[in-house]
Each structure stands twice: as C-alpha cells, then as structure tokens.
Amino acid sequence: MHELRLRCALANVDTVCEALEALDALSVSVEDANALTADETPLFGEPGMPPPQPGWEASLIVALFASRAQADEAAQLIQLQPFFADGEVAGVVPLAEQDWVRLTQSQFEPVEITPEFWIVPTWHEPPAQAVKLIRLDPGLAFGTGTHPTTRMCLRWIARQAPQQPEALARVLDYGCGSGILAIGAGKWGAARIDAVDIDPDAVTQTERNALANGVQLQAGLPDQAQGEYDTVLANILAQPLKVLAPLLVSHVRPGGHLVLAGVLERQVDELQQAYAPWVSLSVADREDGWVLLHAHKPA
C-alpha cells in the first residue's frame, strides 16, 4: 500500500478527490495542510473560534493506492490537469504492512450485559464468570452489543427471563440486524422466535449467527411476522418506531410485552404520545443518553 499526498486550494479539493477516485484510489481523505502548526485552522466551532468553514484553504489530500506504480501514475496524471495548476505533489509514502484483521479484532473485548451474561467475540476466551454467552464477531452488522441500545435490550431479556419465563414463550425481534436480540432471547429460553428485517443481508447474517450460537429461530422479511407474540423487541430509531406503532402493537398479545430501543432521552415524550392510543410506555432503563421503553399491552 502507498499513500499519495497532494496539496491544493480548497476550491479544487472536490475535483481532485473525484479524479483520484476515477484513478482507482482505494480511499481518499482531506486534512488540514497546516495541522499541528501555528497556522492550523479549526473547523468545528470550538468556543471562542470563528464559525465552522466548509474546508481548509490549504488542504492536504491523502489517497491510498494498492501499489507504488499506481500512486506514481496518479500523481503524474493529476499534475497535467488544469484544476491542479496551483497544486503540489507532497510525496508518495509506503505504508507498513499490517495484519488488519488482527488490528481490528484487538479493538473488541468481551461485553458484559449482566455479571453472568456476556457477548464474546469468537477469538476471545469467555470470562470465567460467564454462565450464558453470545458468540458474535463485532462489525458484521448493526447490533454487536457495543451500543447502549443493544445492551439495554439484552439486559431486559436477562432480567425478565427468571421472573416471567412465559414472557419469552414466543418472541419477535423486529429489525433484527445481526439477530443478537433474537439470539439473546433464545439463550434465555425463548421457545419460538421470529426475527425479521427489511434488509435481506441482515436476514442472512441473523441465520448464520443463530446457527453459530445453537439457537433455533425463523428469520425473514417483515411479512414473516405473523400473529401475536408474548414479547416484541424493536431496536431501531425513534422515527421508524413512531411510524410502526400500530403494527408493532398489533403483534403483542394481550398482557404481552413491548420493548423499544433506539430512543434518545429527549425523544421519550414523542414516543409515548405516538403509542398512547394502544399502550402506556415507560422508561425501563437508561444508558449514555439512550433509553429503553417498555409497555404491557392491556389484557
């Protein structure tokens, strides 16, 4: 791998970036050419600074190429273009070979849901205290346990199962992503599990993750969700949760549970209002500005 570094004026940055992409750059990024100097220009509106600007007047463009020959050829071609007349080639820099898989893996550690319930990447040994665990490779799909919304949903499952095992008799994971919530329900004894998502790739990933964890479930597109469930889990975002309110509530059996995540604390009132015609939502958990909402459907 080699980096081609180019200096150019702000007015030409977009054109140069597009040209580099056309020349098969693997990635293109833009930095402040005066970074770490007295002339460094902040863009993000720090206190006491001028309003944010659209870019740096003196910009450094860094393009990644698979080989030195590709980087050199791109540099030669860019220099011939009228839009680069005032630009400068700052050099071609070789990158040290790295084991990117190992580097990525090193960023992820086992995630504690409860003291006995953990999410453990496949390359890690489970913690000694882990009684139940989900094996999952972070980064494959949304829902890896590293986000507060996922952790709160799994905590709810882990805490509910010993108290009301009947709540997990039939479970729907709506917007399943990686399938982690459905798998979590299976680990805690759910008898029948449906996991649905609008993304066919998410359905495929859910099936793979369930198989790897020894959990039986039915995964498919949203129209596969049929009838009523003892618990409906939906970890999406506030706006789609509002739109889906009638549908999600219709899938909860009388006396059943509705668990919603992907909601910021400031969005609680609007979600409660959206669901008020059918159920009364309350905050069941909080973490890092996110909330978990829960409701019992009237019997």
Going from the N-terminus, what domains does the chain have, and what CATH number goes with each?
A: 2-94 (3.30.70), 107-297 (3.40.50.150)
pLDDT at 100 over 70: no
The binding site for S-adenosyl-L-methionine consists of 150, 175, 197, 235
pLDDT at 266 over 90: yes
The binding site consists of 150, 175, 197, 235
Tell me what pLDDT residue 51 has: 47
Give me the mean pLDDT over the 241-257 stretch. Answer: 97
- pTM for the structure as a whole: 0.67
pLDDT level of residue 99 (50, 70, 90 thresholds): low
Tell me what pLDDT residue 52 has: 47
Tell me what pLDDT residue 12 has: 85
Query: Which tens digit of pLDDT belongs to each residue from 105-131?
Result: 556 788 899 999 999 988 888 899 999
Rounded to 5°, the CA angle 187-131-256 comes to: 35
Place of tokens 């056309």: 22
Query: Which tens digit of pLDDT belongs to each residue from 60-86?
Result: 889 989 889 999 999 999 998 888 888
Query: Which tens digit of pLDDT belongs to each residue from 24-47?
Result: 888 888 887 766 556 555 554 444
CA 81 to chain centre: 39
Helix (H, G, I), strand (E, B) or coil at 150: helix
